[in-house]
Structure 1
């Protein structure tokens, strides 16, 4: 069983690896942080709910998805441990979210109320720059995903995912990976078989 102390140590290590944190700084972080478990298949956020928190994944995986008019799930994003996974559209607009955030594994998260997060953002040395860099990389990744959806075929999108984010393929259920790649599960199975065959032939 993972205990709160161990999980807080994980969060502290993440901060120490990226910014300078004194003991006084850390006490402020701990006071603002709630540690919770999201069981597999349960939601951190559902469409129609208002998001007012920042979320850091300590262990596990969260999926962000939207349900279309036909009832089909469209997977937008997977986030794994040591990454932030909040829904910023609702957070910034203070409007109900259009998205769902679901745990696809038993997932432990550190939750910080947005008001407390803004305070830490301004107070912790280097934290503002670190978070801004995360936003910059997320913006670039979003643009790359849009480009891939328009200009790359299904096989190319799969190979790109395999090269740059293999954890998605290893840890997410196949139908969710297919949804993320904007193909059906049968097409994904066929692509995976062809990729495996080519890899064996190349040996």
Structure 2
């Protein structure tokens, strides 16, 4: 049931069998059907979520009813609303399954316990947060300085497996483009 998470952790750092059992004890499996929400705006997010199988999107809806996708998370990615998680405030984002998805949830208190009891886990998660911050900076830079063509080519380079799993209008939303603009960019390719 937690094999994908364990294989993922083993590929990132050295973890003992005893530590694997500690991880398994705090994990909860949640299965989502396509279009089912993992998180809805207004709820408080209290987990770290590992995508074991499937695909989700993290998005907000503005006052005009337009969706703005900030992240796609597929197998071996972590997801959640960090602001809600850290501040115990209502979530500003929705997380929805784009495919039938299996998510491993680790409650906040248990996750912090893993930091204390598994030093290699703590070190790895710290490194992952640093890489996530860098990726966010790069995404912001691309969003404010790249042309439509450059945004799309960067998406293809950064997320090559998603182009056939995500509807084009969602890719457009993620890139901050209209579906028509993305269509023009794709036909130029």
Q: Same-fold call, TM > 0.5?
A: yes
- Aligned twin of 1:201: none
Distance 1:133 1:62 in 2: 23
Q: CA deviation at 1:12?
A: 1.3
CA contact (8 A) 2:172 2:179 kept: yes
Distance 1:81 1:121 in 2: 22
CA contact (8 A) 2:15 2:120 kept: no
Alignment gaps of 5+ in structure 2: none
Distance 2:131 2:91 in 1: 22
Write the mapping of 1:1-203 to structure 2, written as runs, cut at 5 A: 4=1, 8-195=2-189
Distance 1:22 1:144 in 2: 35
Distance 1:37 1:75 in 2: 22
Structure 1 runs, 4 residues or longer, greater than 3 Å off = none
Q: TM-score, normalised by structure 2?
A: 0.96
Distance 1:163 1:30 in 2: 34
Distance 1:93 1:75 in 2: 22
CA contact (8 A) 1:168 1:177 kept: no
Structure 1 vs Structure 2 CA RMSD: 1.0
CA contact (8 A) 1:19 1:125 kept: no
**Which entry has the higher C-alpha Rg, 1 or 2?**
1
Q: CA deviation at 1:112?
A: 0.6
Q: CA deviation at 1:160?
A: 0.9
Q: How many pairs are equivalent?
A: 189
Alignment gaps of 5+ in structure 1: 196-203
Q: Deviations over 1:124-154 (max 9, x none)?
A: 1311111111111111111111111111111
Q: TM-score, normalised by structure 1?
A: 0.90
Q: State the SS of the aligned residue for 1:64.
A: strand
CA contact (8 A) 2:26 2:106 kept: yes
Q: Deviations over 1:14-39 (max 9, x none)?
A: 11111222222122111111111111
